[in-house]
Amino acid sequence: MLPRQPHRAAHRVVSRVALSLAMLTAVLLPIKGTSAGAADAASPKPTIVLVHGAFADASGWNEVTKRLQADGYPVLAPANPERGLLLDGAYISSIVRTIDGPVVLVGHSYGGAVITNAALTHPNVKALVYIAAFAPDLGETVGGLVLKNPGSGLSSIDNLVLRPYPVGVDAYINPRVFHDVFAADLPAETTAMMAASQRPAEVTILVTPSGVPAWRTIPSWYMVASNDKTIPPATERFMAQRMGATTVEIESSHVAMMSHPDAVEDLIVDAAEKTR
C-alpha cells in the first residue's frame, strides 16, 4: 500500500475548515439587524433593548417583552454582566453595535447607569427610557445617588449580603428584606423565588464614576416609582428633571416592569413613536 500523500491530507483539512467557516458565516450573518427575531429587518419600528439592573435578571422583562412583541417591536433583553459599570456599559454597547436600524435603549435600576454609558457612540440609539433607574451625570456614582436622599433600603449594610469571590466581592439583597426593599407589590412567593435566584452586583459598581451621559444628547423618558424603597422617589424625580426627560409617575415598587407592565410598555412605545 502506498503511503498517504501529505498534500492530500492537508487538502482535506483545509476543505473541512473552509466548510466550517462557510457554515459559521451562514449562521452569524443573519444576526446583524435581525437578532431580535420578532420583526423583519426592514421594519420601521426600532429594536427595543431592555437592560435589567442589579439583583435581577432579564426574566423581569418578560411581561413587557410579550406586550412589545405583540405590537410588532423587535426586542432584545440581554444579560447584564454586573461586573463593573465600565465593563457592563461596553458589553451593552457591543450588543447595540450588532443591530441595524434604530434602537430604543431601556434600563431598569442599575441598568439605567449602564445605558447612560453604553449609548453615547451609537447614532442609531434614538431614545433612552429609564424605569425607576439610575441616570448618573459625569463623575457621579451609583452609591452616591443611593444616598442622595433618605429612603433606600440599600443604604443599610444589614440589608445586603456580601460574598467574596476570587477577584472581588459580590453583593446581594438579604432575602429577609428582599420583598419589602425590592418588590413590595408582588406576591411574597414570587419575591422569595426572585431573592433565591438574584444575580449579584460586583460592589465596585457602587463607587465607579460614570462617564459622559448619553442623556445629554439623546431624548429621554423616565418612569418614577413613587413607592420605591430601592432608589428613593425623590432621587428619581431629581434625575428625571435634570435630564429634561418626559416623565410619568406611578404607584409602584422598584420593579415597575413586573408589577405594571402595561404602563411600562406604554412609556417605551411613546419613546419609540416620538423618535421615529
257 found inside a domain:
yes
- Where the chain has pLDDT below 70, the residues are 1-43
22 found inside a domain:
no
Longest dimension (CA), the chain: 86
Of 77, 50, 83, 59, the closest CA to residue 194 belongs to 59
33 found inside a domain:
no
| Inter-axis angle of helices 62-70 and 261-274, nearest 10 | 50
63 found inside a domain:
yes
CATH classification of the domain holding 246: 3.40.50.1820
What element of type H or E holds 233? helix 233-242
CA-angle at 94, arms to 55 and 243, nearest 5°: 65
168 found inside a domain:
yes
What element of type H or E holds 163? strand 160-165
Q: In the prediction, which pLDDT does 269 show?
A: 98
Q: In the prediction, which pLDDT does 44 show?
A: 78
Report how many domains make up the chain.
Answer: 1
32 found inside a domain:
no
- Report the amino acid identity of residue 113: A
105 found inside a domain:
yes
What is the grid cell recorded at 219?
431624548
- Look at strands 160-165 and 168-173 and give their pairing: antiparallel
183 found inside a domain:
yes
Domain hosting residue 252, numbered range: 43-274
Other CB atoms closer than 10 Å to residue 205's CB: what's the count? 23
**What's the CA gap between 253 and 255, in Å, rounded?**
6
Q: In the prediction, which pLDDT does 273 show?
A: 96
